[in-house]
Amino acid sequence: MTDYLGYRGQTCVVTGAASGMARALTEELVGLGADVYAVDRMPVDIDGVKTSIVADLSSKESIDKLFTELPSRIHAFFSVAGLAGVHNSFTDTMTVNYVANKYITDTYLQERMAENGSVTYVTSAAGLRWEFPEIREELSPFTDVDAGWDALIERTNEFNERFGGEVAGFVGYMFSKRALNLLVAERVQAFAGNQVRINAILPSMTSTGMLSDFAEQRGGLDNLKAASTGPAGRLAEPIDMAKTLVFLGSDLAGFVSGVFLDVDYGMNALELSGINPMRTKWTFADTLSKQPA
């Protein structure tokens, strides 16, 4: 039978593999015969992984150490780890969700990915409208190729200070997800030069380790479900995201690069068509400058 997915014997790296979407993805990849390097701040106890590596993505030193432990050729890299930002500061949320990803992408993945490989990020429906010019403009200092770890942390802190120094972690969540989408778009060409694909998925609300934080932020699970269920009539499950990630990283998606895949059972389509109001087209500067001091 044709192996359409092509994962057998391939080196895959999954971040955030201890929980939620990344855990479901890791299980799928192991089942498909991949050599999976499962990365998380906690040990990953999934049978069949090649290695579990404990690494803290909020630390540049820990990321540098991680890449000494990963193979020199990676076929599929899945960046899934993240913080909800509800119990984290703006800077801490930006650091794990964005700074770490940009640093890994620009410092390591450009040269570590094998030909015909793929890099896939999990951003979020919270990162929609990143492509609007006025929104792109406020993100672009963060995607600058020359901005390394320290410069990005400095720019993050400056942004926080500009709006009073106490910007909420959840704003950091949205900022990080929009910025990561822009980063993917801007890196397509460089990765294509090495025949590597680079894509993002934008999940809607999913029942993972983060759900209770998101519910708290929206005034309870009932409110969250009312606002986030959409045409599917249910929240997403980790396996829904895992299967989409398996597809994007596989041979089946061999000509798919620079795609921002809404995995939301049509929720964004309802906004794009005008059937539902478009909720997220605001800039950070507008929204934050209107907040009471």
Ligand X SMILES: NC(=O)c1ccc[n+]([C@@H]2O[C@H](COP(=O)([O-])OP(=O)(O)OC[C@H]3O[C@@H](n4cnc5c(N)ncnc54)[C@H](O)[C@@H]3O)[C@@H](O)[C@H]2O)c1
Number of residues that make up the chain: 293
Nearer CB in complex with ligand X: 97/143: 97
Instruction: Determine the 3-state secondary structure of 203 from DSSP.
Output: strand
Calculated CA dihedral for residues 144, 146, 151, 153, nearest 10 degrees = 50
Amino acid (1-letter code) at residue 46: I
Rounded Cα distance, 195 and 286, in Å: 39
Interaction site with ligand X (CB under 6 A): 16, 18-22, 40-42, 55-58, 80-83, 96, 122, 124, 203, 205-206, 208-211, 214
Shortest distance in whole angstroms from residue 206 CB to ligand X: 4
Report, in Å, the least distance between residue 105 CB and ligand X. Answer: 15
CB closer to ligand X out of 149 and 214: 214
By C-beta, is 156 or 206 nearer to ligand X?
A: 206
Alpha-carbon distances, residue 108 vs 100, 103, 104, 105 (angstroms): 11, 8, 5, 6
| Sheet of strand 260-263: strand arrangement | 51-54, 35-40, 11-15, 74-79, 113-122, 197-203, 260-263
Minimum distance from CB of 48 to ligand X (Å)?
A: 18
What CA–CA distance (Å, rounded) separates 193 from 283?
33
**Shortest CB 85 distance to ligand X, Å:** 8
Rounded Cα gap, residues 244 and 256, in angstroms = 13
What is the smallest separation between the CB atom of 201 and ligand X, expressed in angstroms?
8
Q: How far is the CB of 17 from ligand X (least distance, A)?
A: 7
Cβ proximity to ligand X: between 56 and 186 the closer is 56
| Closest to ligand X by CB, 114 or 259 | 259
Q: What is the spatial distance between Cα 261 and Cα 240, in angstroms, rounded to a whole number? A: 13
> Among all residues, whose Cβ is closest to ligand X?
20
Single-letter amino acid code for the residue at 216: E
Nearer to ligand X, 186 or 237 (CB): 237
